Amino acid sequence: MNTKNAVIREKRKKVSQLIQRWLFSNEQFLNIITIPCASTDIFIYSILEYMNKGKSILYISNEDEEYVDILEKIKKNSSFRGYSYLRRGDIKLKSKFIIVKAANALEIMRDFDLVIFDDTRAFPHHTSYEIIDIMARMSKDEGKFIYCGVESIFKGKREIIIPVSEWPHPIVEPRTITTKINLEEDIPYIIYDYLKWSLYEDRKVVIYIPDLEKGLKVASYIRFYCKKLNKSVLCSWEEGKEKSFLKFAKVKSAVLITYTFENIPTYFVNANLMVFFADYKLYDYKKLFHFCGVINSYESNFKEVIYVSNEETEDMDKAKELARSFNKEAWDMGFLSY
């Protein structure tokens, strides 16, 4: 395991150096293809060196301010503190390094030498066309572009593939449970049995639902029909997101029902995920695949993502194929072993 960790560290170091060289090349577009919730350590020294050359950088990520991984990495690995995080408002910021959510990016009244769009650290909301449009409008005429996501958006341009994060584990390949039961009214017995087994084994389960309306119905029937689970069921909307997530983090075993998808991997140690209504129109393949990255962002011997739906959709199949392709790439590159 230590050998594999060393191999991954060395690979990520080489990628970091490759990005640094690319920044001072004549190329304008770079795709970083990696798994959801991957570490941003590969960008640290490129960002610092580029700023030292007098260049300006816009870093777009939909993470909440207190969870922005690139800021944590820069604080930990350097003394640089000259960054700005744009919360809202039409502001002329003078910092060379600005971090912003995609929805607020166009409020910044300046253009940048380098625009980085990190589409892996938070739940993906934007299409490729929307991302390219935002990046283009925030760049200088001769500016450079780096997109970090699960697939390329700059077609025919340079790609760097990083199929693992910091440790040598394959990304979780999701499985599917289909049922004819209306999930707004009842729970399949196999789900009840799975929840009961998880709690018995001192494990946690997160049940994702698309919205509050469906969440209220799911919570209601789980508590009504599964009375033995009642004391172990938490709902993110009842005590507020942060309070319920912290409570979930502290207990040994529990079931958390939530429709909040953002910035919560650190609470999921020893947790498996179930995505209810996985065939719902909200869930495209990138969103479904993102769930696999969420629980891949911590080390555990047993991790599982289960899609629960009335039918298996093309997006569910595509999410599974993404997981398989990243794992195959990781095997071929020597990051994984039996």
Give residue 153's pLDDT band: very low, low, confident or very high (50, 70, 90). very high
Bridge partners of 254, per DSSP, are: 204
**pLDDT given for residue 334 in this prediction:** 84
Give residue limits of the domains in the chain: 2-162, 175-332
Give the model confidence (pLDDT) of 5-24 as tens digits: 777 888 888 999 999 999 99
The per-residue pLDDT of the chain, averaged, comes to: 89
- N residues, the chain: 338
Measured distance CA(255)–CA(82) in Å, rounded: 42
Is residue 142 very low, low, confident or very high in pLDDT (cuts 50, 70, 90)?
very high
pLDDT tens digit sequence for 220-253 = 988 887 777 777 899 989 877 778 888 888 888 8
Domain 2-162 coded CATH 2.40.50.100: no
Do 2-162 and 175-332 agree at the fold level? Answer: yes
Give the pLDDT of residue 91. 60
Residue 218 predicted with pLDDT over 90: yes
Report whether pLDDT(70) > 60: yes
pTM assigned to the model? 0.91
d(CA 100, CA 91) in angstroms, rounded, equals: 12
The reported pLDDT for the residue numbered 228 is: 76
Give me the pLDDT at residue 129, please.
96
pLDDT band at 48 (very low <50, low <70, confident <90, very high): very high
Q: Which two tokens stand for residue 76?
A: 């930990």
Domain 175-332 CATH superfamily = P-loop containing nucleotide triphosphate hydrolases (3.40.50.300)
Question: Looking at residue 109, what is its pLDDT?
Answer: 84
Do residues 112 and 143 lie in contact, with contact meaning Cβ atoms separated by under 8 Å? yes
Helices (H), 171-284: 189-200, 212-225, 241-250
The token pair at 280 is 């719902």
Output 262 or 312, whichever has higher pLDDT: 312
CA distance 224 to 306: 23
188 to each of 262, 280, 281, how far by Cα in Å? 28, 18, 21
Q: What is the CA angle 312-317-323, rounded to 5? A: 140
Residues above pLDDT 90, as percent of the chain: 62
C-alpha 114 chain-centroid distance: 23
Mean pLDDT of 154-173: 90
